[in-house]
Amino acid sequence: MSDDVRRIARGLKRYAEGLRAIEVRRVPRHRQASPPLPRAPAGGAKRDALAALVKQVEACQACSLYRTRTHAVVSDGDPDAKLVFIGEAPGRDEDLQGKPFVGAAGQLLTKMIEAMGFARQGVYICNVLKDRPPGNRLPEPDEIEACLPFLEQQLAIVQPKVICLLGSVAAKAILGPHVAITKVRGQVWDYHGTPVVPTFHPAYLLRNPPAKKFAWVDLKKVKQLLEDRG
């Protein structure tokens, strides 16, 4: 056997071991996406498509949450990002500032992103819901159903290499209502060909600091997937 053949065989063995180590689970049911915006190329067209989406969100009255919002909260970060974080819904600070993850949980998320070796402005951050549920209550299923097409359009435009779901609401919205975050966190799922890793929401980590070590394991998996996908 030549050196080249041995090298290729070693590479294939490592690849197979990697696949076994990262078991990819299929999303059991995709929610039916609303007609997505045309897939946008990188650069200006992507920004234009997202700006058009912001206008749609600001005009949206598909559920009752528009009545109590100060600002619709669509996203923060880089539309060309390889990594997207998806949280639950804006809270009070986010509603006031019109940006996702700017309160205490947002500060922790920023630290988590930096601990991964990235800058917050180098990733793309958004939520399942674009408007704040009053009193920060949990989103209702019909609100999630009404708002999800916007998230699906965001993902179709940004086209990240990896998606990280933050908390139970995001996990249920993307993976299906039956999933439990404690069971699926750290697993690799598939969303239209993009790997998805659920982990705990930063707000939960603030209430339960011992869970941070599990979230860190999940984030390391996200980083590994990003490195594997170039």
Instruction: Give me the residues that bind ligand SF4 (CB under 6 A), please.
Output: 57, 60-63, 65-66, 72, 129-131, 143, 146-147
Cα distance from N-terminal residue to C-terminal residue, the chain: 31
Q: What is the DSSP letter of 157?
A: H
Query: C-beta of 59: minimal distance to ligand SF4 in Å?
Result: 9
Residues 6+ apart with CB under 8 A from 167: 87, 88, 181, 200, 201, 203, 204
Residue 161's SS3 state is: coil
Query: C-beta of 51: minimal distance to ligand SF4 in Å?
Result: 16
Q: Which lies closer to ligand SF4 via its Cβ, residue 78 or residue 88?
A: 88
Q: Which lies closer to ligand SF4 via its Cβ, residue 147 or residue 164?
A: 147
Query: C-beta of 99: minimal distance to ligand SF4 in Å?
Result: 15
Beta strands 124-127 and 162-166 are unpaired
Relative orientation angle of helices 141-158 and 44-59, to the nearest 10 degrees: 160
Query: C-beta of 193: minimal distance to ligand SF4 in Å?
Result: 26
Q: Which lies closer to ligand SF4 via its Cβ, residue 31 or residue 161?
A: 31
| DSSP percent split of the chain into helix, strand, coil, nearest 5 | 50, 15, 35
Name the strand (E) or helix (H) holding 168: helix 168-175
Q: Which lies closer to ligand SF4 via its Cβ, residue 80 or residue 93?
A: 93
Q: Which lies closer to ligand SF4 via its Cβ, residue 60 or residue 86?
A: 60
Query: C-beta of 143: minimal distance to ligand SF4 in Å?
Result: 6
